[in-house]
């Protein structure tokens, strides 16, 4: 029952046989054997009166037999086939390593494969000696072409004139803003503090020339000087707010050949303190708003006081105190009307007109200023001289 099929029987494979059929249930019933005097009875029959009892030991033995039969049938065929395969593969004698011959490299294939596969892929690959580690701080001279000069590093792009011009404009803008801030601060400070110097004085100092100045308070200045300067330089000083538009129109419409300016005393103070003396439209454009600002902060009396102390009355002679001592050998308080008129008419060109030694033309101008001083109404001088003094 447990033997496999003979090898010559090809009708059914050895591992394709159907499993055995299970035993019937009656094989597991307990049988009753009737004994007689002659011998065992030939008839086996179940007890009719009750259900036959099962024998556990007989059932276990039967199932064990079934499992053994199934295992034998399934493993025997597989082991037989595996043993035959091993016999075919196993060599009859041991392999001698010296008899092995390495295959020679195939001849190079000269066929054009479209340059898609490199030729070195068809050659045998052998392990080469390890290469030394690359030192990034050293340069191998053999890798450099002979006689080839080293390439210089690329230079940064040169700045164009456009970028330089933009930087210059930006720098000039910030310088102007800083200068305006300083000027505004000085305007507020000079309302209470006497200015130490003007831009023209600084120009003299930078050129190495001497400067003579003596500050004199407004109450220590002769009223004749105040009246003569007011009627000669700015007849509407108490009426305008820093800029005399009528005087500017007269200067523009002047066609008689005489030089006549439209600057007021307030504009001359701003020019002498903060700006440059040369004439230009740029200076005028800066001068006008600063004059309006100074008129808002300073009273007329303070403007006149600062003007008389920074005006030039000769080369290096600044202020009415130094001018009185230089030209008339007296203090500013003791100047007469005629002396004050000479000082007033020399203001437009103090380097040419000498108040101490006037010529005939300067004498005529001084006489005309004296007449205007006597005829000037008190309202014309009310902002600086409340009462007319004779």
Radius of gyration over every alpha carbon of the chain, rounded to an integer in angstroms: 66
Q: Is residue 157 predicted with pLDDT exceeding 50? A: yes
Residue 34 binned pLDDT confidence (cut-offs 50, 70, 90):
very low
Residue 214: both structure tokens together: 């003596």
Q: Is 283 exposed, middle or buried (0-12, 13-18, 19+ CB in 10 A)?
A: middle
Phi, psi of 29 (to 5 degrees): -80, 145
Q: Is residue 32 predicted with pLDDT exceeding 60? A: no
Residue 59: both structure tokens together: 């059932």
CA distance 245 to 256: 20
Q: Which residue has the higher pLDDT, 7 or 378?
A: 378
Residue 135 binned pLDDT confidence (cut-offs 50, 70, 90):
low
**Angle formed by the axes of helices 223-233 and 337-345, nearest 10°:** 40
Q: In 3D, which of 357, 366, 360, 364 has the Cα closest to residue 338? A: 366
Q: Is 279 exposed, middle or buried (0-12, 13-18, 19+ CB in 10 A)?
A: exposed
Q: Is residue 319 predicted with pLDDT exceeding 70? A: yes
Q: What is the DSSP letter of 314?
A: S
DSSP-based three-state secondary structure for 86? helix
For 106, half-sphere exposure in the C-beta direction (CA atoms, 13 angstrom radius) is: 10
**How would DSSP label each residue in 241-287?**
SS--HHHHHHHHS--SS-------HHHHHHHHHHS-SS--HHHHHHH
Q: What is the DSSP letter of 237?
A: T
Sign of the torsion formed by the C-alpha atoms of 260, 263, 264 and 265: negative
The string of pLDDT tens digits covering residues 96-119 is 655 555 566 666 656 555 555 566
User: What is the distance of C-alpha 386 from the center of its chain?
Assistant: 62
* pLDDT over 70, % of the chain: 59
The pTM assigned to this predicted structure is 0.57
User: What is the distance of C-alpha 210 from the center of its chain?
Assistant: 51
Q: Which residue matches tokens 């009859």?
A: 92
DSSP-based three-state secondary structure for 37? coil
Q: Look at phi and psi of residue 336 and say left if phi exceeds 0, alpha if psi is from -120 to 50, else beta.
A: beta
Q: Which residue has the higher pLDDT, 270 or 33?
A: 270
Predicted local distance difference test score (pLDDT) of residue 175: 92
């Amino acid at each position: 029952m447990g033997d496999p099929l003979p090898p010559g029987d090809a009708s059914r494979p050895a591992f394709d046989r159907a499993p055995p059929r299970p035993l019937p249930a009656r094989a597991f019933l307990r049988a009753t054997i009737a004994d007689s005097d002659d011998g065992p009875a030939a008839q086996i029959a179940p007890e009719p009166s009750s259900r036959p009892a099962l024998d556990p030991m007989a059932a276990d033995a039967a199932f064990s037999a079934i499992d053994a039969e199934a295992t034998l049938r399934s493993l025997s065929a597989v082991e037989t086939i595996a043993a035959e395969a091993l016999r075919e593969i196993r060599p009859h004698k041991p392999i001698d390593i010296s008899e092995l011959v390495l295959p020679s490299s195939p001849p190079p294939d000269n066929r054009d494969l479209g340059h898609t596969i490199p030729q070195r892929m068809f050659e045998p690959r052998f392990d080469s000696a390890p290469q030394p580690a690359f030192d990034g701080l050293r340069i191998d001279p053999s890798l450099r072409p002979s006689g080839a000069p080293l390439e210089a590093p690329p230079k940064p792009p040169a700045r164009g004139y456009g970028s330089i011009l933009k930087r210059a404009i930006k720098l000039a803008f910030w310088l102007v803003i800083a200068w305006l801030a300083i000027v505004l601060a000085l305007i507020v400070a000079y309302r209470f503090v006497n200015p130490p110097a003007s831009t023209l004085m600084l120009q003299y100092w930078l050129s190495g020339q001497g400067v003579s100045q003596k500050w004199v308070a407004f109450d220590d200045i002769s009223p004749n000087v105040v009246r003569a300067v007011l009627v000669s330089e700015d007849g509407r000083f108490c009426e305008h707010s820093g800029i005399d538009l009528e005087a500017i129109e007269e200067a523009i419409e002047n066609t008689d050949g005489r030089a006549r300016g439209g600057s007021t005393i307030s504009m001359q103070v701003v020019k002498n303190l903060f700006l440059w003396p040369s004439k230009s439209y740029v200076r005028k454009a800066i001068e006008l708003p600063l004059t309006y600002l100074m008129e808002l902060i300073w009273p007329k009396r303070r403007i006149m006081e600062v003007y008389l102390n920074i005006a030039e009355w000769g080369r290096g002679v600044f202020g009415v105190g130094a001018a009185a001592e230089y030209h008339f050998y007296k203090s500013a308080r003791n100047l007469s009307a005629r002396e004050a008129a000479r000082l007033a008419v020399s203001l437009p060109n103090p380097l040419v007109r000498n108040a101490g030694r006037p010529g005939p033309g300067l004498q005529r101008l001084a006489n005309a200023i004296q007449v205007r001083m006597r005829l000037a109404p008190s309202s014309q001088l009310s902002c600086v001289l409340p009462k007319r003094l004779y």
